[in-house]
DNA sequence: CTCCTTCTGGACTGCTGAGTCTTATTAAGT
DNA sequence: ACTTAATAAGACTCAGCAGTCCAGAAGGAG
């Protein structure tokens, strides 16, 4: 039952949640961050109900009391983790607008869309991101507002950012059609199948191989068949 | 904690699981079916871990011992339910080929694809189907093979059936492109966004309103922009 | 050095859950 | 009427878990 050393992978997802911590800049915050880190990994692997506070304390090398000093209860810890981790998706969404900012001519459009599609694919198919999606989806009945908030801040934000991108491309006369529609079609042409598949499979990462590039290329071709100006 | 009377809705999903039951044609099978029906509703609403065998027995108006007479343990019951319920999706997949069988001329293609898209949307966005997806996705860590089998028999089967449909349409000179690619693009143009949204929201059913028709129509338009012969 | 806070380690409470067992009841088969 | 099997109802075991409590050990601030 030893937790494998994917701490690094978990770290990728973890944001500075300890920001709102009490006194000592590194005293309590260090413990708090350790708890968040450990709990994130456990929740992603075993789910909310499948993770005990004893496991969390042990994985964080901390006493159970310390866990309850930092977080009112298990649910509070869970919510804080989900909200915090969601920030990763928000950062990705914010990075989107500049992705196609330099595209001025029709010749530049297609390669840029392909590159973006590939980047999008590997971001969403990241095993940790998929695990987070599985976790939240599985708890949608128990935490409906949390699930809705995640959708708003992750997929929703990305779709809005994409719509913004296509809006600007339309201003430059490079694409046609409604920006929101374009964003939806682009997004799910790119990752619809891979995402659907990824939700039900733990290991498979078609993003690794050239499969991801093929998927991205075809998606852009189909997309431009309708939306190219 | 009374379970609302959505027994009818659950019934839609339930298939003759009791088929493999022991002796009496309606004695044991009746109990068995009642247990399956009750457990299905509870699992869909509260998840695997969130459902106790006591709740199942009570909801089925059956003693706990009877539950254990019919099913070795909770996990066996769960697996049997998931596999059984999956048959609904298989039936839908089997009904697909005949959907476009009568299409012979280019003029008939677009309306037929729109009708199919609409049917596809409402089938997948059915609240019970969404709940089943959430349930299985949430348990993918615990039951990886079960999740993979569900994917193979539900979304996988439907995609294969769609590919078959497009293959035949290509034989008739109505569409172009690889059938498998066409199936993927068609499927996720139609329900990508709605499905993604539906995984994180309990009530919203955009399938009810005219929204579903708008989604279906646009998906077909984009699809035909590339795949029309 | 001393005060004050935090941390540890572990015991402890109260509860819930999976699965077993017992006893008596029902119902069907012969 | 007699036998056999299944059932109901509920007690029971055993384990795990959320959350609390306590005694003692650090450890920094004055």
Å between CA of B67 and C1' of C30: 29
Mean of pLDDT values over A147-165: 96
* Average pLDDT score over chain A: 87
Please report the pLDDT score of residue B77 as a whole number: 97
In tens, the pLDDT along A43-74 reads 999 999 999 999 999 999 999 999 999 999 99
Instruction: Using CA coordinates, name the residue in chain B closest to A214.
Output: B181
In tens, the pLDDT along A84-124 reads 889 877 888 888 888 898 999 999 999 999 999 999 999 99
In tens, the pLDDT along B59-109 reads 999 999 999 999 999 999 999 999 988 987 788 888 888 889 999 999 999
Number of other residues whose CB lies within 10 A of the CB of residue B209: 9
User: Per the confidence metrics, is the pTM higher than 0.85?
Assistant: yes
Query: Which member of A50, A155, A226 has the closest CB to residue B49?
Result: A50
What tokens appear for B17 in the block? 């699981």
High-pLDDT (> 90) share of chain A, % = 73
Give the burial string for B48-74 (b: 16+ CB within 10 Å, else e): bbbbebebbbbbbebeeebbeebbeeb
In tens, the pLDDT along A160-176 reads 999 999 999 999 999 99
How far apart (Å, rounded) are the C-alpha atoms in residues A40 and A47? 10
Which regions in chain B score pLDDT beneath 50?
A: 1-5, 15-28
Interface of A with B in 140-179 (CB under 8 A): 140-142, 144, 147-148, 150-151, 155, 159
| B contacts of A134 (beta carbons < 8 Å) | 137-138, 140-141
Instruction: Using CA coordinates, name the residue in chain B closest to A180.
Output: B193
The three-point CA angle A113-A118-A124 to 5° equals 120
Please report the pLDDT score of residue B172 as a whole number: 96
Query: Which member of A141, A197, A223 has the closest CB to residue B47?
Result: A141
Please report the pLDDT score of residue A13 as a whole number: 56
Instruction: Using CA coordinates, name the residue in chain A closest to B218.
Output: A181
């Amino acid at each position: 039952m030893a937790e494998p050393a994917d701490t690094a992978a978990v770290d990728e997802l973890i944001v500075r949640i300890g920001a709102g911590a009490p006194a000592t800049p590194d005293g309590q915050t260090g413990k708090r961050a350790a708890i968040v880190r450990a709990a994130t990994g456990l929740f992603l692997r075993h789910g909310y109900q499948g993770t005990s506070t004893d496991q969390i304390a042990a994985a964080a090398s901390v006493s159970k009391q310390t866990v309850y000093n930092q977080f009112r209860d298990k649910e509070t810890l869970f919510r804080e983790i989900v909200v915090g981790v969601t920030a990763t998706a928000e950062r990705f969404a914010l990075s989107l607008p500049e992705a196609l900012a330099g595209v001025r001519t029709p010749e530049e459009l297609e390669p840029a869309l392909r590159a973006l599609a590939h980047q999008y694919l590997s971001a969403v198919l990241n095993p940790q991101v998929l695990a987070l999606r599985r976790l939240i989806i599985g708890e949608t009945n128990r935490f409906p507002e949390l699930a809705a908030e995640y959708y708003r801040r992750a997929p929703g934000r990305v779709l809005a950012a994409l719509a913004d991108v296509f809006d600007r491309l339309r201003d430059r006369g490079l694409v046609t059609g409604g920006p929101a529609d374009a964003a939806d079609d682009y997004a799910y042409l790119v990752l619809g199948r891979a995402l659907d598949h990824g939700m039900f499979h733990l290991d498979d990462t078609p993003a690794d191989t050239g499969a991801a590039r093929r998927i991205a290329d075809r998606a852009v071709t189909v997309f431009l068949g309708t939306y190219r100006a």
